[in-house]
Structure 1
Amino acid sequence: MFRSLIKLSLALAAALPFASQAADEPTIKFGYAKCAHCTPLSLLPEYAQDVKIEAIQFNTGNDVMTALLSKSIDVAQITYLHYATALDRGFDMVAISGQINGGSQVLVGNSLPIQENDWDSLKAVIADYKAQGKPFRVAASRGNAQDLHMRGAFAKQGIDVNKDVQFVNIPNPSDHVQALRRGEVELITSVDPFATQIRQVEAAKFFTYPYDQAAGKLTNLIVTRSDVVKNNAKGVEGAVKAVIAVNDKMAADKPLFVETIHNITGLDEKIAAGAVENLYPDYKMYRESAVAIGQMMRELNYINSDVSAAIEKNMDYSFLESATGKPKSELGD
């Protein structure tokens, strides 16, 4: 009996360090939206080291941002647009990493005499609609990167989204294809893989990639709150390392990228493969471009104040520097 107790004590003593290590491992609730850019984040738990990550999917970036601000999650994938909007409203938000950029497409009705990348033909059709007293309806999911990309590109071409056309908000990108099929809009700016789906099912035709504006191809940003940085810095660092690891894997293994989009969205692998061609894994944070996005958003009346100083103040490069061993001057600063 005595020997049995000794053996049990030794076994418990040996197990205690492992129990302690498990208890000490930081945890992160990581929210991401349902889009082609975002689906690789479903792999974060698999690529996380020294941190336990729970990857939680939401329908839209707005839902993710709400969850972060309400403290339902710790780290979030949003867009540069969400970031500037949050700072404009005085919310606590800290940018810690980039993720994936691109993914925007402008699509027009099949019957419209608008030629690919021909802005003059688009403006001619808009003028014709106006002459007939008909609204030329353009749609996007208001508040996402594609909406901003469209508005910036339109403004650069002299098209006022508030005066020359009628804007239609379709919050869920998965509803875009049906809006086009029902003839509810003439033009839509959507996010991949839904934009590629629209083209492949021939619900609309391709017009342009709306990257000729201040935001360029910049889309996704990884953010957290200052209380999470203060209280769970190791968890945040682990999350950033996992994002980088997943990004590197997506860049090197496009078939896995395609498979991941297919698994998360349920869309055909052919659609996923098309979407991947318009996506650019990139964990850097682009400070000057982020400021330019904030300025463009103010000019377009998306936000009410100049958030330039707040954007710069709340971009924390320390986690990227630690994860990569590079100075912030090489990480987009």
Structure 2
Amino acid sequence: MGVIKRGAALMLAPLLLSAALAGPSRADEAPPVKLGYSKCAHCTPLSLTPRYATGVKIDAISFNTGNDVLTALLSKSIDVAQVTYLHYATALDKGFAIVGISGQINGGSQILIGNSLPVAAGDWAGLKNLIEEYKKQGKPFRVAASRGNAQDLHMRGAFAAHGIDVNKDVRFINIPNPSDHVQALRRGEVELICSVDPFATQIREVKAAKFFAFPYDQAAGKLTNLIVTRPDVIASNRRGVLETVRAIVKVNDLMAADQPLFIDTIQKVTGLDKTIAAGAVQNLYPDYKMYRASAAAIAAMMRQLKYINGDVTAAVEKNLDYSFLEEVTGKPKTELGY
């Protein structure tokens, strides 16, 4: 009997050693996290988070637009979402419980204007004169964006800074899916559009429109993406949220250090040409910090532009939870945008 026991122990020893070398078991992992992101250039790196996650299994799910991602989060179809600061303020304005947990990548906005229009890049006075000329002729000057996305707010803020009222001086056209922007320009359905990369760079590459401006001279600046979740997700799976933020920070650092990988990721997720992906990267700024004062300024600008009804500046500041970034980076929130 002793021989049998010793034989069994010898047989089990290699298995136990393998288990030890394999690291934490599935039982040690946090519950899985569903992470939603949209198909914009600065959002695509989130497709890499499952590869770089430790201690949690991340299911990264792509959506056509940021609005779709927010809807999925609020309907509890996903646990963590990449949205914009605009989505964040809008959700709070509508009374939804939503918490910011990390920045991600900013920039990615371009204002493009019809090739035949006699306005040079950066000539805001020329643009205003052209809009006035359209008014005299009884024609609407049509401007477009994907309503609810950062580019819509960037455009409205930049217009306001240069004395153009989107609600009075021009006709706004909503084109929900950014991938449809290029065809709207080709069909002559709009005179100007504020699009998101890589689609903005695609429009320029195929010569569907010409570059007018980067719309960053407004309260939002370059701020674009924000990672958010719901309080119930934090309560039920805090470690899963923490490890998701850790994976996002890892991927962000990778994108900042390895531009070819960034280009390759954009190309794989969007299916667009490598030249377009390479052009888009020049207008993208990896940054996992959450900028509290700027977020409040965005909320104030949104109310001023009648984008939201209430004053949510206090809620915007209060609902930014820096604890995950603090633990992942080892930095205090005062160094993380607070």
Category of TM-score, reference length = shorter chain: over 0.9
Distance in 2 between the 1:118 and 1:317 partners? 40
1:20 Cα offset (Å): 7.9
Q: Does 1:79 align with 2:88?
A: no
Please tell me whether residue 217 in structure 1 is matched to residue 218 in structure 2: no
In 2, the alpha carbon distance for the partners of 1:72 and 1:173 equals 23
Q: TM-score, normalised by structure 1?
A: 0.96
| Partner of residue 28, structure 2 | 24
1:1-333 matches, cutoff 5 A: 3=4, 7=8, 11=12, 14=16, 21-26=25-30, 27-333=32-338
Amino acid at match of 1:145: A
Matched residue SS, 1:176: helix
CA distance in 2, matches of 1:256, 1:278: 16
Output the amino acid matched with 1:24: D
Letter in 1 for 2:337: G
Residues of 2 paired with 1:230 and 1:150: CA distance? Answer: 37
Residue 54 of structure 1, CA deviation: 0.6
**Structure 2 CA distance, aligned partners of 1:221 and 1:179?**
28
Cα offset, 1:24, TM superposition:
3.0
- How far apart are 1:313 and its partner, in Å? 1.2
Distance in 2 (CA, whole Å) between partners of 1:230 and 1:90 is 19
| Whole-angstrom distance in 1 between the partners of 2:7 and 2:141 | 83
8 Å CA contact 2:104–2:252 kept in 1: the answer is yes
For the structure 1 residues 24 and 185, does the alpha-carbon distance in structure 2 shift closer, same or farther, using more than 3 Å as the test?
A: same
| Aligned-pair identity (%) | 71
TM normalised by structure 2 equals: 0.95
Change (3 A) 1:16 1:251: closer
> Aligned pair in 2 of structure 1 residues 19, 216: CA closer, same or farther (>3 Å)?
closer
Distance in structure 2 (CA, Å) of the matches to 1:231 and 1:10: 40
In structure 2, do the counterparts of structure 1 residues 8 and 88 end up closer, same or farther at CA, with 3 Å as the change threshold? farther
Deviation, structure 1 residue 331:
0.2
Which secondary structure does the structure 2 equivalent of 1:302 belong to?
A: coil
Q: Which amino acid aligns with 1:232?
A: N
Distance in 1 (CA, whole Å) between partners of 2:5 and 2:119 is 84
Q: CA deviation at 1:230?
A: 1.1
Change (3 A) 1:20 1:240: closer
Query: 2:28·2:55 contact (CA, 8 Å) conserved in 1?
Result: no
Counting matched residue pairs gives 333
- Rounded Cα–Cα distance in structure 2 between residues aligned with 1:8 and 1:200: 67
Distance 2:169 2:104 in 1: 34
Letter in 2 for 1:22: R
Shift of 1:6: 7.1
Q: Is the 8 A contact 2:166 2:172 kept in 1?
A: yes
**Which whole-Å CA distance do the structure 2 matches of 1:82 and 1:296 have between them?**
14
Gaps of 5+ in 1: none
Task: Name the SS of the counterpart of 1:77 in structure 2.
Answer: strand
Three-state SS of the structure 1 residue aligned to 2:25 is helix
- Deviation per residue, 1:7-62 (Å, 9 max, x gap): 38974994888798202311211000010010000000011111111100011001
Which stretches in structure 2 are left out of the alignment for 5+ residues? none
Letter in structure 1 aligned against 2:103: G
Amino acid of the structure 2 residue aligned with 1:159: I
